[in-house]
Structure 1
Amino acid sequence: MKKWLVILSILFIAVIITAAAIYLSAVKPVKQAEEAAVHKAIEATDIAEVTEFSLYNGEETYYVVQGENNKGTKLIAWIPEKKGKIIVKKSSDGLSRDQAIKKVLAEMNSPEIISVKLGMENGIPLWEIHSRTKENLLNYHSIVFETGEWLKKIENF
């Protein structure tokens, strides 16, 4: 009996180590992208302190870096993965995360918000919001960051 416990314990530890190695291997490219994007944002923009990083995969991949300049002004930088112009906007020049969520909740049949993130499509900074209906169907919404206009709506009723 004691022998089986030792064998099972060794197998359990091996499974945990393997799972941890797979997880670390999977997140390594995202961590590398984050490090590169943060470095580029600090180097090429007025962002002095980074507060948030996200990855947006649309027609093109963008790294979105949020932070503050030396005066405390909140800024957002959209950095293309490949070649292209970095776009920087003040957070106050567009809708906040909460305003974008309120717009979806007020105008759509989506009582549950699943995810909200900044992105870029065709040179237009946007909020991408995924939501779920009461019937458990997924909806996809894109709202222009600066104006609050609808860019895309994919709704399932």
Structure 2
Amino acid sequence: MKYKNRNKASFPIWQYLIGIFIVLSVLVFSFFAVLQVSMQPRQSAKEASSRLAKEYADLEKVDSFAIYNGQESYYSLLGKTSKGVEKAILIAKDSNEIRVYRLDQGVSQSKAESIAKENGAGTIDKVTMGYFKDQPIWEVKSGGTYYLIGFESGQLVSKEGL
């Protein structure tokens, strides 16, 4: 009797396809699980900081959230109060000390960018509000260089390159 080799030959191909599908599914699931776990600390810091800013600084709407890592780490929030006043809130990561600044009483974010460009910055990657040497600053990142611009003075406080 003759057996059909066709079934025997096609059987391993289906096994390979099913195996590849399972491996790819596990890899995709693992990628998203790791992504979620890695974003969880930042998300919880954002939620806690937003809650503190709303409670202590009357911030109604948070427009941006960033983490400033200088001599100390700060959670930086920019937003508006219920009266429409734009404020910057800095919350110290370790001590939860809250610093509140009205954005109309200092150098604007765009002005800080132009000051950094005057001092050699190229393309601006990001701008973050922070606190350095007992004063609020705008940290302007351009490539591997950080330009620290005084929020109240509008002067270049420090230029740090990596």
- State TM-score, norm by structure 2: 0.85
Please list, as runs of the form range in 1=range in 2, the aligned pairs for 1:50-89 lying within 5 A after superposition: 50-83=62-95, 85-89=97-101
- State TM-score, norm by structure 1: 0.88
Q: 2:118 is matched with which residue?
A: 106
Q: 1:44 is matched with which residue?
A: 56
Q: Distance in 1 between matches of 2:141 and 2:107?
A: 17
Q: Distance in 2 between matches of 1:2 and 1:16?
A: 21
Deviation of 1:78 after TM superposition, in Å, equals 0.7
Secondary structure of 1:83 counterpart: coil
Distance 1:46 1:114, change over 3 A: same
Q: 1:139 is matched with which residue?
A: 145
Q: CA offsets, 1:1-58, max 9 Å, x none?
A: 2221111111101001111111111111111111110111111112122221111111
Q: Which runs of no fewer than 5 residues in structure 2 stay unpaired?
A: 1-12
Residue of 117, 139, 154 corresponding to 1:148:
154
Question: What percent of counterpart residues are identical?
Answer: 27
Counterpart of 1:141, as a letter, is Y
Q: Distance in 2 between matches of 1:111 and 1:60?
A: 26
Q: Distance in 2 between matches of 1:106 and 1:58?
A: 23
Displaced runs of 4+ in structure 1, greater than 4 A? none
Matched, 1:10 2:22: yes
Q: Distance in 2 between matches of 1:60 and 1:113?
A: 23
Deviation of 1:84 after TM superposition, in Å, equals 5.5
Distance 1:84 1:12, change over 3 A: closer
Q: 1:127 is matched with which residue?
A: 138
Deviation of 1:70 after TM superposition, in Å, equals 1.2
Secondary structure of 1:113 counterpart: coil
Secondary structure of 2:82 counterpart: coil
For the aligned residue pairs, the C-alpha RMSD in angstroms reads: 1.6
Q: Which runs of no fewer than 5 residues in structure 1 stay unpaired?
A: 133-137
Q: Distance in 1 between matches of 2:42 and 2:96?
A: 20
Residue of 8, 19, 27 corresponding to 2:39:
27
Matched, 1:93 2:105: yes
